Chains A and B, each alone.
Chain A
Amino acid sequence: MIEAKGLTKVYGEKTAVGGVSFTVQAGRVTGFLGPNGAGKSTTMRMIMGLDTPTAGSVTVNGEPFAKHVAPLREIGALLDAKAVHTSRTAYNHLLAMAATHSIPKSRVREVIEMTGLGEVAKKKVKGFSLGMGQRLGIAAALLGDPQTIILDEPVNGLDPEGVVWVRNLVKYLASEGRTVFLSSHLMSEMALTADHLIVIGRGKIIADAPIAEIITGKGQARTRVRTDQPERLMQLLAGTGVSVEVQERELLEVSGLDPRGIARTALDNQVMVYELTPLQASLEEAYMELTKDEVEYHSHITTGASVPVQAGGK
């Protein structure tokens, strides 16, 4: 279990993490989602005792990380795929880390096999692809068979097979009762992997809830309605908290009222409805909704760039 209380990190003028409090529970995959520069990595470095918080505290299984008797056996972390001296071989890198805790060579070989690095283990890390670097980082995180696993952007640079492998691995680790804390800026990946989601934007926690709740709760549930009397139905539905959008001539999108309520209104007023479809907001939409005010770097599409696209479309 990871517990952060009022965790703050200020670099000069800039507040990277502004007093966040959250709890990461054991036995499930907790996703840490936020745009680039939101404070995910800084938070994770503070958990690992690499950065000292400006204020607040964070504990792992009840104690600050540095206070643990055998840190590598308590928490394994992939903070950065490049936390390796690239002139050393993967095997020797893991061997040196293992030596600090008297972890046997057999375990080093085990994590190498587990992460599929068998063929390149005796090669210098210099020649590794980003994906292989990620696998080496995950191998290092698993070395001490820790109860708590922290992975910062583990699927970055992995091929599709690797992405699926990480997804299954973290789910398996959580099913063994371990605490798994996983960061990403890819909402689609989180939707498939995480059970619980902590969303961060500009150093503040925006949401902390089970993933299902975030999808349904934040993204407004909408209903697609087809009717041959759209104007009349719009008048009938117009009321407190209900908004109706005209999509096509006979197609409306209603939010603020569930399908049953819409059907009841239509039936009571003899309006024929020939489609009623509940629309589930995707996590992606929910995420955009959540972080739209918190994104640090907005992309701006120039009008010039969009002209050829339109021309091509027609």
Chain B
Amino acid sequence: MAPILEVRNLTHVYSAGTPFEHRAVDDMSFSVQRGEFIGIIGHTGSGKSTLMQHLNGLLKPTSGQVLLDGVDIHSDKKFTRQARFRVGLVFQYPEYQLFEETVYKDIAFGPKNMGLKAEEIDRRVREAAKLVGLTDAQLEVSPFDLSGGQKRRVAIAGVIAMEPEVLILDEPTAGLDPASRAGILENIETYRKTKNATIMMVSHSMNDVARLTERLLVLSGSKLAMDGTPAQVFTRADELLDMGLDIPDVTRVFLRLKQLGLPLEPVYTIEQAVAAVKKLKEGK
């Protein structure tokens, strides 16, 4: 199948030719299929944010290409504009960007800019709001009257209402309590399923990416250091720790059990751990 998004030898250098020159993304290449759920992990300054901002054309590569449906998004202004809508970006702490009088107007901002008809905007606002668990009554209140977790949902709904084929989120659960965190992650997964959308999620929570994603891109020192399933990535525990990252706690427990001599394969979620223990018990 042709990939929805393709990154070819992407390099980005900030302040080129000055003493502050910094190569933030260095020769990264990967491609992404429709419907994939990808986690992006990497230490602070590894290039995650710079990479993200290339994927919908906010930044222009110093060299290399970003292709959306096989077309270079910078080959024509028309394609760059399309990329803005087809690839949705949710930044860190997106609730700081809320500004409208009502939740409804805030969510409608993106679709309105796309030049859609009023009925279509209305359909999208209501659908996006429903998906993130906001009620009709909440659509009419000021976003500033909502709790932190709810504000975050409004901000995410605003991007979802543009119905992007690729949804990219930068730490969508930072600063939220465990229940809100679980709720937002579930909303994202629902969006992926209903629209067959591609999700790329930057996260510092190894537990979250292990549970949700099918594939991990590991960035380190401006390079793409690993690209594989969570199982493949988390077996390289020592390398991850060297990169300033971590492994899920259950993985650590099971690696130790294996060391102690139990015939257990590495796991990275609690569900897998439970399944592995069941299997071990039945095997006896």
The answer to whether A and B come from one shared complex is no
